[in-house]
Structure 1
Amino acid sequence: MAAADRAVPGEKPVPRSRLAVALIELALAVGSFGIGTGEFAIMGLLPNVAQEFGVTTPEAGYAISAYALGVVVGAPIIAVLAAKLARQTLLLVLMAVFAFGNVVSALAPGFESFVLLRFLTGLPHGAYFGVAALVAASLVEPRKRTQAVARVMLGLTVATLLGTPVATWFGQILSWRVAFAAVGFLGALTVVLIWLFLPKDKVQEGASPIRELGAFKRKQVWFTLGIGAVGFGGLFSVFSYIASTATQVAQMPESAVPMMMALFGSGMIVGNLVGAWFADRNLIGTIAGTLAGSAVVMSILSLTAENPYMLSICVFLVGSSVAIGPALQTRLMDVAADAQTLAAALNHSAFNIANALGAWLGGLAIASGYGFASTGWVGAILAVGGLVVLALSMASDQRSARAEMCKA
């Protein structure tokens, strides 16, 4: 049976009306929207944060890396410690913590405290997306899993089209603190929606921290996480500094930054939906094609960043590389066996390792004097690195398959 036709181990779709499924997906997508707005808005507000706290723009990027590291640390710890919690309960707790963290971030008195609060706010991020993806996959038949995951992730992509540009605009006019307060409100709204629409469920049979930790014993889990951690870093290398690239390299006015955010968000929406459709038909091909395309686009970006039109096109296409997200989430469902929660949460740890790695390497290239356009070259190298990890994963899979055939 093909990977795309395998169900999540131990789970079968629960019959529900289309309205009930739509309301559940809406509740989860609102949470994704809030998380996406909070994660990406700061990228357009880095110059404002830097100015208020008296640091450079690359130094302000530490707040991005701190949030990403919070996701990396929080996802596995929460997934293991909360193994015996019902999914509805866990989602409620995670979004309550996220809402509180953003409100307190808006009140940070200094740069050091702001960076620390961004780290703490990132802790529930990965576990939320992981559990939400599992809930979405359980609502549909196996061959449509990736598209169900993509609909929940749609909140994240819409955030870059609507939430992030609006937050950036308000942040520039009023204060970046207003943007984070608004994200806190979105988190609180999600708590209410999950409480209303997500049915109370029971703890998964046999669930335990030990069972979840079994994910670490599976090579393909590590390979899949490696693809995301390395290959997805290119997107963040470019997007973390897109405001400065637009204004300082392409000589666009500051008022054009929200438009660039919207272009990036449009690309994410297209990539998320179209990529999920392809992934449900050819999972590995979608992952490989996305990485290869990203390497080409980000190379072109570095060569043409001085041209506002070419930069705009490339930003849209870089955003579309988010197609790899739902595909890798489904890949983890296939290779994680009965350690689904930890594996699903770790997917977003991997993406935020990519976030931290991309922002750090991009900032390093800028600080070394190569300019903001050099982030495209950094991104291209990371995308090629993701392809290398994918090739190693496929080679390992083939060796395992031959070994099984020999035993038979």
Structure 2
Amino acid sequence: MKLNKKIAYVGCLGMIGIITTEFGIIGILPQIAVYYGITIDKAAYLLSAFALVIALTGPFMTLLLSGFDRKKIMLVTIFIFFFSTIVSAFSPPFWLLMIVRMLPAFLQPVYIATAIAAAVASGKKSQENQLMGIVLGGIALAMVTTVPFATYLASIFSWQVSFYIQTIVSALALVAIFKTMPSGDIPEKKSYGSQIRILKDSPFLLSTAMNFFMIASWFSTYSYFADYLVKTRKLDMATISYMLLLFGVVGVFSNWLAGKMLTKSITKTVAFFLSGTIIIPVILVYSGDSIWTTVIVIIIWGFFYAPCFLNASAYMISAAPKSLEFANSLATSFGNLGVFLGTAAGGWIISHSAINNIPWAGMVFGILALLMVVWRSVLEKKNKKVILIDTIN
């Protein structure tokens, strides 16, 4: 195994720890709501507040820490995740649970940007998307391993067990980073102005808007995955853990496939997987509620959903190749702003209507995301024509 892949796989393990902590809460939201005597949309604040902190602080934290040793940044970040999950496992008062859940969110985008940059920097230019895919593959792997496993154990014992699993994963990531990542890997610190300049670039802004709407689309329903399947498909928590496992297994394959497709065409790959934001709501609402129909729906859902974070990062970086870490932090921040919006929109629909209507919110956001892709493509073609004319003249 080459050094660059070792670094990418260590970054991937850290991603598994991060995603297990952020999204592992989804499978146990109904149990938390019952334990604390609150509604499901209020329990979802544990997810949306986490995402909102990332959205509001991510780019600033990444800029602030951009000149620090990458190994130290990754170790400190995972340690805070480790501490957060230990406290959460003791089922503190809901307000305290909210606070300790929000603490690691301040450094999450810094970790993702740093891990991706470390992996990409140690490889060839042609390997960028592949190495980035390995790191972000931790998202899909968490969905197929730790998230469903934690949900399954929580269905047998208690919701607190889910946090024990998160603690173990974070501990393993700490050891791997400490033993494998090279010390003294300090990137050349770029001026804030040179990085912020990309915010004036129209294609990058459209890419950011696409990321925001795409993630909002997926999470308007996915945030309530467990509760949605309980109330619309009449599944028990143990069965839901199997559905999460299936969701993740399919996601590992589609994440790998997306990594291959991105090397050929980033725009076409993004548009293809975005089509799922229109397809999934239709089949969720109009398919039957038999177990085999549900299995098919979960397979299709997991296939289209899984590469969303990889596609978002690749799409945004393609519009700002000289500001890799800052572009990645913005991808993470606006993606999590999308998580916040999607979760809030789904919660609003649940409190004012019925949970079976939340997929339609996903379709609306998905259409907006597709429009951003079309808009950027048209703009870039127009810019190429202008450059060609100027060259001829």
Q: TM-score range by the shorter chain?
A: over 0.9
Answering whether residue 230 of structure 2 is matched by residue 239 of structure 1, we say no
Match of residue 154, structure 1, among 120, 137, 143: 137
Q: What residue in structure 1 maps to residue 111 of structure 2?
A: 128
Q: Is the 8 A contact 1:74 1:127 kept in 2?
A: no
Give the counterpart letter for 2:327 in structure 1. Answer: A
Note the C-alpha offset of 1:136: 2.3
Secondary structure of the residue that 1:271 maps to in structure 2? helix
Distance change in 2, residues 1:403/1:145 (3 Å): same
Q: Is the 8 A contact 2:146 2:165 kept in 1?
A: no
Cα deviations by residue, 1:100-159 (Å, 9 ceiling, x for unpaired): 222233345222222232222222222211221222223333333222211112222111
Q: Is the 8 A contact 1:29 1:151 kept in 2?
A: yes
Please give the alpha-carbon distance, in whole angstroms, between the structure 1 residues aligned to 2:56 and 2:168. Answer: 24
Distance change in 2, residues 1:254/1:105 (3 Å): closer
Secondary structure of the residue that 1:24 maps to in structure 2? helix
Query: Identity rate of aligned residues, in percent?
Result: 23
Unmatched 5+ stretches in structure 1 = 1-17
Answering whether residue 350 of structure 2 is matched by residue 350 of structure 1, we say no
Cα deviations by residue, 1:278-334 (Å, 9 ceiling, x for unpaired): 111111000011111331122211212633332322222222222232233223333
Distance change in 2, residues 1:234/1:316 (3 Å): farther
Please give the alpha-carbon distance, in whole angstroms, between the structure 1 residues aligned to 2:114 and 2:61. Answer: 11
Deviates more, 1:254-263 or 1:204-213: 204-213
Distance change in 2, residues 1:296/1:202 (3 Å): same
Q: What residue in structure 1 maps to residue 292 of structure 2?
A: 309
Please give the alpha-carbon distance, in whole angstroms, between the structure 2 residues aligned to 1:137 and 1:298. Answer: 36
Please give the alpha-carbon distance, in whole angstroms, between the structure 2 residues aligned to 1:206 and 1:46. Answer: 41
Match of residue 265, structure 1, among 238, 248, 261: 248
Secondary structure of the residue that 1:306 maps to in structure 2? coil
Instruction: Tell me the TM-score normalised to structure 2 length.
Output: 0.92
- For residues 7-406 of structure 1, what are the structure 2 equivalents within 5 Å? 18-107=1-90, 109-304=92-287, 306-321=289-304, 322-369=306-353, 371-406=354-389
Q: Is the 8 A contact 1:96 1:187 kept in 2?
A: yes
Distance change in 2, residues 1:305/1:317 (3 Å): same
Q: Is the 8 A contact 1:31 1:190 kept in 2?
A: yes
Q: Is the 8 A contact 1:250 1:306 kept in 2?
A: yes
Secondary structure of the residue that 1:65 maps to in structure 2? helix
Please give the alpha-carbon distance, in whole angstroms, between the structure 2 residues aligned to 1:295 and 1:149. Answer: 27
Instruction: Return structure 1 stretches of 4+ with deviation > 4 angstroms.
Output: none
**Cα root mean square deviation, aligned:** 2.0
Please give the alpha-carbon distance, in whole angstroms, between the structure 1 residues aligned to 2:57 and 2:244. Answer: 27
Distance change in 2, residues 1:347/1:74 (3 Å): same
Give the counterpart letter for 1:336 in structure 2. Answer: A
Secondary structure of the residue that 1:231 maps to in structure 2? helix
Q: Is the 8 A contact 1:102 1:183 kept in 2?
A: yes
Give the length in aligned residue pairs: 390
Q: Is the 8 A contact 1:27 1:193 kept in 2?
A: yes
Deviates more, 1:270-279 or 1:398-407: 398-407
Q: Is the 8 A contact 1:73 1:349 kept in 2?
A: yes
Please give the alpha-carbon distance, in whole angstroms, between the structure 2 residues aligned to 1:108 and 1:215. Answer: 43
Secondary structure of the residue that 1:335 maps to in structure 2? coil
Please give the alpha-carbon distance, in whole angstroms, between the structure 2 residues aligned to 1:144 and 1:337. Answer: 14
Note the C-alpha offset of 1:276: 0.9
Q: Is the 8 A contact 1:212 1:340 kept in 2?
A: no
Give the counterpart letter for 1:213 in structure 2. Answer: I
Q: Is the 8 A contact 2:18 2:78 kept in 1?
A: no
Give the counterpart letter for 2:360 in structure 1. Answer: W
Secondary structure of the residue that 1:232 maps to in structure 2? helix
Please give the alpha-carbon distance, in whole angstroms, between the structure 1 residues aligned to 2:164 and 2:194. Answer: 38
Distance change in 2, residues 1:305/1:346 (3 Å): farther
Cα deviations by residue, 1:222-257 (Å, 9 ceiling, x for unpaired): 221211110122221222112122222112223211
Secondary structure of the residue that 2:206 maps to in structure 1? helix
Distance change in 2, residues 1:214/1:101 (3 Å): farther
Please give the alpha-carbon distance, in whole angstroms, between the structure 2 residues aligned to 1:229 and 1:365. Answer: 19
Please give the alpha-carbon distance, in whole angstroms, between the structure 2 residues aligned to 1:332 and 1:357. Answer: 20
Please give the alpha-carbon distance, in whole angstroms, between the structure 2 residues aligned to 1:205 and 1:254. Answer: 49
Distance change in 2, residues 1:214/1:177 (3 Å): farther
Please give the alpha-carbon distance, in whole angstroms, between the structure 2 residues aligned to 1:45 and 1:305. Answer: 25
Please give the alpha-carbon distance, in whole angstroms, between the structure 2 residues aligned to 1:44 and 1:319. Answer: 15
Q: Is the 8 A contact 2:229 2:240 kept in 1?
A: yes
Q: Is the 8 A contact 1:298 1:318 kept in 2?
A: no
Note the C-alpha offset of 1:396: 2.2
Cα deviations by residue, 1:154-186 (Å, 9 ceiling, x for unpaired): 222111111011111222333322322331332
Q: Is the 8 A contact 1:102 1:180 kept in 2?
A: yes
